[in-house]
Amino acid sequence: MVDLIAGAFSVIWYTKKYKINTLQLIDAAAPALILAYGIGRIGCQMSGDGDWGVDNLSPKPEDG
């Protein structure tokens, strides 16, 4: 969470320093961020690295 806040402040500082319209920069970056987020979510799902809840430590029930 701290990385997100620090990144946001860094982008705002950068836009102020170089006199770039912050909203235009956000609009320009949004499609790339959506694509990257989607690819990351698919990667987490395919790797099965446990991002989908807590581990189930109960034994598996026997099939019938």
pLDDT at 64: 56
Instruction: For residue 28, give its domain range.
Output: 20-47
What is the Cα–Cα distance from 56 to 28, expressed in whole angstroms? Answer: 42
Residue 1 DSSP class: -
In a domain, 27, yes or no: yes
The per-residue pLDDT string of the chain (64 residues; one tens digit each, 9 = 90 and over) reads 788 899 889 989 999 999 999 999 989 999 998 999 889 888 877 777 656 666 777 777 776 5
Q: Which two tokens stand for residue 56?
A: 């189930």
What is the Cα–Cα distance from 36 to 40, expressed in whole angstroms? Answer: 6
* Residue 53 backbone class (left: φ over 0; alpha: ψ -120 to 50; beta: rest): left
Q: How far is CA 46 from CA 24, 31, 61, in A?
A: 34, 23, 25
pLDDT at 45: 77
